[in-house]
Structure 1
Amino acid sequence: MFVSEAAAVRVLLVDDEESYVDTLRKRLSRRGLSVLTANSGEQALETLAANPIDVVLLDVKMPGMDGMETLSRIKQAHPRVEVIMLTGHANVDVAIRGMEQGAFDYLMKPAEMDDLYYKIQDAHKKIQLSEKS
């Protein structure tokens, strides 16, 4: 693992399941990522407005503002932020629709930690490449 490379990546984890968020935050932080959390779409937008974020991990199914609405608002306000959708097996079609609306990619929950970590790195590399051009 390249901690110096990972340390530059600022991640926002958005999910209404607080125990899942807490566990995933700890696991990603141990890999050197800077992780903030939000438990709703509204809270995610507030966090994005107040903090520089590179990659958002966004649950598709949340009460109130769901993942699709949150994705739409993130891309409007922060077009350079990459969004990875997290979905249960029943919501794969929704996640694919999310990619059509600007999400970087999607992963099934619970995602393998290595898969999630490398997907975050790929999204960050895309941001770096777009900033160079």
Structure 2
Amino acid sequence: MNDIRVLLIDDEAGYTDALAKRLDRRGLSATTASGGVQALEIMDGAPFDVVLLDIKMAGMDGINTLSAIKRRHPEVEVVMLTAHANTDIVISSLAMGAYDYLLKPADVEELVRKIEDAAMRKRSNSK
């Protein structure tokens, strides 16, 4: 699947920069944002297929960012990333419309498969 646009939202710049490079090498178009407010500004100016969203961030956390994304861009699929498996937060994010979640650090190949699956779902729902 070509031309998948991914937005990585995490307040750990080193993590998002490294992950963006890995995704770019696998043929995905990755953009980074350091938090929810910046991500929403970026999304208002450019289309994305999939968002990878960290749950724990300074400022606007992942749950509030997910809520804003789903209000403003409901067609975009969101994969939540968390370093700590908190069942309540995961269930809450899935109920709010997240596509799925992965534990950090996620295996890059598994992450790519999840992104491709989410992009396929977005595109099939857009038809």
For normalisation by structure 2, the TM-score amounts to 0.96
1:116 equivalent to 2:111? Answer yes
Q: 2:3 matched to 1:8?
A: yes
Within the alignment, does 1:53 sit opposite 2:48 as a pair? yes
Task: Report the number of matched residues.
Answer: 127
Matched-pair identity in %: 55
* 1:85 aligned residue: 80
What secondary structure, in the 3-state scheme, does the structure 2 residue paired with 1:89 have?
A: coil
Q: Which runs of 5+ in 2 are unaligned?
A: none
The alpha carbon displacement at 1:8 in A equals 1.3
Whether 2:42 is the aligned partner of 1:35: answer no
The runs of at least 4 consecutive aligned structure 1 residues that moved more than 6 Å come to: none
Question: Where does 1:55-70 land on structure 2 (aligned, <5 Å)?
Answer: 55-70=50-65
Structure 1 spans left out of the alignment, 5+ residues: none
Post-superposition offset of 1:93? 2.9
What's the counterpart of residue 103 of structure 1? Answer: 98
Summarize deviations over 1:18-56 as a string: whole Å, max 9, x none: 110110000000000011100011001001001111100
Alpha-carbon distance in structure 1 between the residues aligned to 2:110 and 2:91: 18
Match of 1:23 among 13, 18, 26: 18
Cα pair 1:60 1:85 within 8 Å, conserved: yes
* Cα root mean square deviation, aligned: 1.0
Q: Which has the larger share of helix? A: 1
TM-score by length of structure 1 reads 0.92
